Amino acid sequence: MKNILFFSFIILISILMYISQSFLTIIFGVCIFLYAMSVLEKSFSMMASLESFLKKMTKSNFQSFIFGSVTTTIMQSSGLVSVLAISFLSAGLISLASGLAIIYGINLATITTGWFLAGFGLKVDIGAYAMPLIVIGMLCMINKTQKIKGFGYFLFSIGLLFLGISYMKGGFDNIKESIDLSQFAMSGVIGLLVYTFVGIVITVLIQSSHASLTLAIAALSVGQITYENAVGIAIGSNVGSTVMAVIGSINANIEGKKLTVAHVLFNVSCAVISIIFIVPFMYITDTTSDYFNIAKDDYTLRLAVFLSYFNAIGVIIFYPLIPFIEKMLNKFMKDTHKRSKVHSAKYLDEHALQFQDSALEVLNKELLHLYSNANSIIAKSISISSGDIQHSDIPAKDIIKARQIPINLDYDELYNNRFKEIYSQIIDYAVLAGSNAKPEQLSKIMDIRRAALIMAEALKDMKNTQPNIYKYITSSNQYAKEEYDKLRIEILESLRIMYKIATIKDPDELENQIKNLRKIYHEYDSEFNFDVLIINKKITNKMATSLMNDTALMKNITKGMLKAAEMIFAHHHSDEKLNEMTSV
């Protein structure tokens, strides 16, 4: 069905282009405009790490709001920034409150589009500026330096934006001579509603509120539609702009969908408010325009004034409600899917692959998820709970003494459910992320893969020793039982340190905890001596062999988790220290 509609649309467009040269010019301008925005997106991914900037700028709601405004103003794509916000929220890089603030900042920034087009884009020959920008941009694009190449893409895309606007305006100029669109003008509330719907449809079809707003202002500038009709299209384009965000949220998790719902509700609410109070809106628009000596017939600038009030009032109403909206979204939107026994990746989001730093960020977060699951598997394997690890105020010896009933488990099932799938997803994602990564980022991605592999090997060692731990917890031989309990104590103490390491933010404290974990690793050689037990025939040779093998395996497990902790946390904190030094 989708293919039928798509090809029907292609046929319709082809017929219209064949019939009307002016329509061909307009649609060509729209295509250039849309392509320019995709090139602009690529330029930002090459010039700088947009997601790194996002992480720094979303520490508070106000900073998030400013980020949304500034980024949308620069990139001139509210839909793109909305999709980015949704993807980062899905990846756990920002909070829902920060996402809401970004959405409101995005809407405020759309004011700049109206002013740019009305005050500059349609009052000069913007096509004249397009050519030098495209030429200079192309020259920079062939440079081998990544940042210069990215800057070239930026200039090239801006030139294409100007060129697209120029073609759209030229197409409407030609239409003016052959078709009088003003005969389709509708006044009053009916006209406002009809053209609001037209604005929604246009924006949905071309998937760009900026492009539909450009079409409206271009048509208004040559008198093809009335001022009131243009206002309706502007309101409709604001509602239609949510379509890209909705599409971008299809593969998002529940958090991303919450932000999408909030985005749609905000834009629809603003449209409803403006339509209900259209008379006061028009009055304050005209009053402001008169105050700044904007000509009565300069409808393009007056439309820009209207858009300013339209977006600003919406932000003023909704921004203070961010905590309440966040609370309501969390209350009424919950993940209804049944929890699968097989754990899968939480943070690996395909949108994050667009930017190298964001891909690295979500890989790090997923590695922490894997690290946590690996620790839980080890804990269950020695018949203790996660609470035993977290409650470090109770001595490990007392915990093990109290946990003398073995947990009956299928180790292979536990490994497959909690580790294997996430491990595979991390490796696959790391391959994709590393395909276009810079050398320094590729090195970090390889470290992530190695850390995941080390944890997998540690769990394989755990699989080999788990049957004996299960067996000797209830052994009738008290001496063998005590030795295995000692092994369990060592592992519990290691798990407690690894739990602390995951929550520590102070690099010095982190270093101390890693030293403590290293100390436990070296204690295996001194803590366990089975010769006396063998000589005194307290344990059989078979028991002694099992103890020696399992002690070596436990030592390897501690060594593996120590290596993983060093690679995950020490490396992460060294990067933070470097960032602090460079900022100072």
For the residues of 488-547, what is the DSSP string, one character each?
HHHHHHHHHHHHHHHH---HHHHHHHHHHHHHHHHHHHHH---HHHHHTTSS-HHHHHHH
The yes-or-no verdict on residue 184 having pLDDT over 70 is no
Q: What percent of the chain has pLDDT over 90?
A: 19
Q: Which pLDDT value is given to residue 205?
A: 67
Least confident range from 1-5, 400-404, 543-547, 561-565: namely 1-5
Q: Which pLDDT value is given to residue 123?
A: 52
Going by C-beta distance under 8 Å and a sequence separation of 6 or more, which residues neighbour residue 334?
Answer: 254
Q: Which pLDDT value is given to residue 234?
A: 85
Going by C-beta distance under 8 Å and a sequence separation of 6 or more, which residues neighbour residue 184?
Answer: none
| Residue pLDDT, tens place only, 102-150 | 989 888 887 776 676 666 555 556 667 788 989 999 999 888 887 788 8
Q: Which pLDDT value is given to residue 579?
A: 39
Q: Which pLDDT value is given to residue 47?
A: 57
Q: Which pLDDT value is given to residue 584?
A: 26
Identity of the residue numbered 319: Y
**Alpha-carbon gap, residue 180 to 224, rounded angstroms:** 6
Q: Which pLDDT value is given to residue 311?
A: 84
Q: Which pLDDT value is given to residue 581?
A: 26
| Residue pLDDT, tens place only, 476-506 | 999 889 989 999 999 999 999 988 888 887 8
The yes-or-no verdict on residue 402 having pLDDT over 60 is yes
Which candidate, 435, 482, 476, 456, places its Cα nearest to that of 556?
456
DSSP state of 351: G
Q: Which pLDDT value is given to residue 449?
A: 93
In the structure encoding, which two tokens stand for residue 510, read together? Answer: 């982190």
Least confident range from 118-132, 484-498, 549-563, 567-581: namely 567-581
* 37 confidence band (pLDDT: 50, 70, 90): low
**Alpha-carbon gap, residue 271 to 480, rounded angstroms:** 75
**Alpha-carbon gap, residue 207 to 531, rounded angstroms:** 77
- Whether the CA torsion 12, 18, 23, 27 is positive or negative: it is positive
Identity of the residue numbered 70: V
Name the phi and psi angles at 439, rounded to 5: -55, -45
Least confident range from 36-45, 436-445, 468-477: namely 36-45
CATH entry 1.20.58 includes domain 350-583:
yes
Identity of the residue numbered 475: S
- Per-chain mean pLDDT for the chain: 80
For residues 549, 550, 554, 560, the Cα torsion angle rounded to the nearest 10 degrees is 50
* 42 confidence band (pLDDT: 50, 70, 90): low
Which candidate, 300, 358, 276, 344, places its Cα nearest to that of 93?
358
- Whether the CA torsion 535, 537, 543, 547 is positive or negative: it is negative
In the structure encoding, which two tokens stand for residue 251, read together? Answer: 């593969």
Which candidate, 115, 130, 198, places its Cα nearest to that of 170?
130
| Residue pLDDT, tens place only, 354-363 | 677 778 888 9
Contact between 25 and 167 (Cβ < 8 Å): yes
* 373 vs 43: which has the higher pLDDT: 373
- For residue 563, how many other CB atoms are within 10 A of its CB? 16
Least confident range from 30-34, 426-430, 448-452, 514-518: namely 30-34
Secondary structure of 221-239 as H, E, C letters: HCCCCCHHHHHHHHHHHHH
Q: Which pLDDT value is given to residue 583?
A: 33
CA-CA distances (angstroms) from residue 310 to 41, 101, 213? 27, 17, 14
Q: Which pLDDT value is given to residue 393?
A: 81
The yes-or-no verdict on residue 529 having pLDDT over 70 is no
Overall average pLDDT of the 34-48 stretch = 67
Overall average pLDDT of the 200-229 stretch = 73
Highest-confidence segment of 185-189, 438-442, 460-464, 567-571: 460-464
Identity of the residue numbered 138: M
* 271 vs 392: which has the higher pLDDT: 271
In the structure encoding, which two tokens stand for residue 17, read together? Answer: 């282009």
Domain boundaries, the chain: 2-332, 350-583
Q: Which pLDDT value is given to residue 219?
A: 76
- Its pTM stands at 0.60
